[in-house]
Amino acid sequence: MTTRSFRFGVIAAVNPELGPFTELARRTESLGYHTLLVPDPVGGLDPLTVLPAGFAVTSELRLGTFVLANAFRDRYQLDWQARSLHTMSGGRFELGLGTGRPGAEIIAAGLKRPFGTGSQRLADLAATVDQMTSARDRPPLLISGAGPKVLDLAARKADIITLALPPLSDANVAQSLVDLVRGSAGDRFGDIELGLNLLAIGAEPTPWMRQALGVDAPDLAAAGAVTVLPGDPAEAADVLRARRETLGVSYVKINAAALDAFAPVVAELRGT
């Protein structure tokens, strides 16, 4: 398999106001990151409406969604919106799609959209993916997942796959997901960009992580989790090189809270 160059992304914290979001976009670009991604919703706002503010204040940074809840949207309107952003951003838009995280049914109800069962949402996602990938001129498609069914869909259709690993997952767990993707992708496996999200840089405790996930950076480090990196930039860069060699993971994303802490690693590995 050909070794892909690293890409580094930032997942926006809740920055629903214009000033903080545009400043985050500028700083993300200036530090050498490749992408800035927004969740769905982002601070109560629609991410597809938020993204143009980031495009307007940057020139090379790619912006996208991580990830849109397919259940919130009509697939034909989404296809139209995505192709419009693709065109008006000069090809800098990346579309991340998913079935919707736990609790998203409340938002779907507010939008008067049916949420459905897990199998229904997966079938609807597959139909949306077919619609989105039918056009030749389209944005890159990212799908994030861990289950065999969504990874099978992603392996057959997506350009980018993020391995949605539980926080304490070690390299063996990550490898098992890569193997699932490889088995479903067949000959197109080499065309897929594999990514994962980091939860921590270094082993210092972070109160938000304990509150949100029930674990902390020291727990991740003790478990040998692939969701944490050493605090030393040179060591962190070596770990990422090794993971790219063994797992094929080249697209690494961090939360905006770690923007500055991870920047030296980006500087070390960008372009390699």
Supply the pLDDT for residue 15.
64
Both tokens of 160, joined, read 């980018």
Domains of the chain in start order, with CATH, are: 7-269 (3.20.20.30)
206: pLDDT strictly greater than 90: no
Average pLDDT of the chain is 95
Supply the pLDDT for residue 207.
76
Contact, 40 vs 72, CB < 8 A? yes
Supply the pLDDT for residue 205.
79
In DSSP terms, 11 is beta-bridged to 37, 255
Per DSSP, the residues of 78-90 read HHHHHHHHHHHTT
- The band of 269, judged by pLDDT with boundaries at 50, 70 and 90, is very high
Q: Using alpha carbons, select from 3, 52, 20 the residue that is nearest to residue 246.
A: 3
Mean pLDDT across 177-197: 98
Mean pLDDT across 75-86: 97
Coil, helix or strand for 202?
coil
Summarize pLDDT for 160-183 with one digit per residue, the tens: 999 999 999 999 999 999 999 999
Percent of the chain with pLDDT over 70: 99
